[in-house]
Structure 1
């Protein structure tokens, strides 16, 4: 028998159905690829739209947040003093410290009973600046407290925060003025500052202040935080000091200093920074050493009274607190390595007073008055100048004081509310806020 050489008969209908199936499969694959491209392109477009909307909203917020000083009538006659809202030069204050208790808080070698201060409503906090380095963002994100969202009365949620409060003055130790130990505070004479003299309205001359101040320093703290901390006395164990008189026994000054870059069109005025907290005690000779007019001015400041200010064409009503004035100077300029330009700037602007309005807030407690000075809201030029100087704070001895500006003859000469020296504070050596 021979071998059959014929091929099996192929059904043409089967071949055509297979071709159709292959064509359909290829079509489906191409369709999926096209759909993927369309979906990805839509995602990209959506992202672009959301980014543009975010930018637009930020721009709107920036325009909405724009404000101006409506009380310019308080500007004094031909004065050389500065206003933080306009001017470019605001005075700055500026081994891991484990909240040392070797001097038991505010007073060296003294233990004081402490009071728990009451919390009040604060505004909703904003997020950390997008310019924050990732390493810094991680360290600052480990705070032991957070704010309750959607509530006008934001209270601390962490039980730990209620059980343990920071002992006032335990992070920055005291040292005598002549030693100038780095990372410490010292007491200075109020008379070391120059203020408006008795005849200032006529001769525009300043003279050294009297040797008496309304409050004297008790201690200082420095905290790092991922955002501003308003009314910081709520988280501090405040000494139980009660001195009879018309003024609170303790004055707390909370200086809020930004550590993120300044921006010209900055819609947010919050972000990582430090809080330099200064504590002062009412003078036991408050009624004896200070004139009645100055004590009356302090009462108006505490009670948030208003006054009539002469202006053209009409008089205006302004808060008395807008007279609060910051005095600051670098006491060791000769020890700093400054360029010729920097020396000229420092000589021109060192020890120039700055009215703190409108970047300040006041909080009145049971036995204390807290004043928050918000450098985050200073003008761009002031912020930029401070940004270039902040790394040199660890080399500076900074003198800080407060007074109430005298706009009338009866308010002169000016007297000091308080005064203190901060010796070479290096903020990188201090702990973040979170107890």
Structure 2
């Protein structure tokens, strides 16, 4: 019996399908046609799978574009994102059998489909479990499905598909930018699908939760400012915090560096992202705010966020006072709010969401020029912070970490607080860090 006949026995919606391209031993691109009540719809899907140590299989599907997978004439092209976990019978209790010896050889290798996720027409996702179905809003379940994708990350299946997506986008772009730049300009950097954005930093712009055509691993985007709460207009009187709203600077690039010495004053380097890409030519009037988070060790890592102001610097603003103030003022005002959007509970508790006045807890060095201000934050200057970051790095491939930066308001005239910018880093790969540009 062939594969299609076998599948039709357990999936009545299956019409036909074939493998378009095998990427590696854990990944392929497939074409499927599925029957509905009165029509048939086709799909081009990236299919990846992974076998866990307990014998379970995790299988994830997501819609992709592929030049060898054309839409079938007379059918509409569907979009699919989901997957399932197939688990073996691991004990006699799972089979409701009184004695372990009663498991027969043919049953000992049997499996159950333990979870299936399906996207409904009303944009709700449903988990189908052995005990029935559980309906949840899409934004909740999509984060759970992202957990399935994490289990497949180390097979490089997402990276291979996404490299092709980026190559297609690059080939479709009419640009004279030098080859080899990475990270993207973005208007709405979490939601845009434009294929004409240009990479300008070492870490690529993406989207998390997953969205077809955009990377969701080893990438960055800027989450909604309302995900964070800041001091409201009457905070000094009622102590109430409010959703932060839109930042006044946009995240335009992220660099992920590694070196055998600490990486300082990165914005001054002529071939670096700031000087070479953000402040050249038409952008000479721009002002860049850069945050360089330095993680020391046998190898020194730095993740650098570059924010560009959406409007000229307002000389009467609190941020302008910060830019032109002395180090004592800066150390007393720069605030960071962290959040682990996806990750183990123990990491979420270790990181927390409590605002941090950076200059009071860590050593900070400021590099100021007329068109940029770089803030170098040395994590190694605090034993506690260094231990927390080292702990988090052990889980970094499975984490989605959000941060925002702002200047603390201490008087009614400085309230409500406004965000400088936000950032989200998804499933960062330590091995993806690159050497920094030379000093001269």
TM (norm. structure 1) is 0.50
Higher relative contact order (CA 8 A, sep 6+): 1
Tell me which protein shows more helix as a share of its residues.
1
Structure with bigger gyration radius? 1
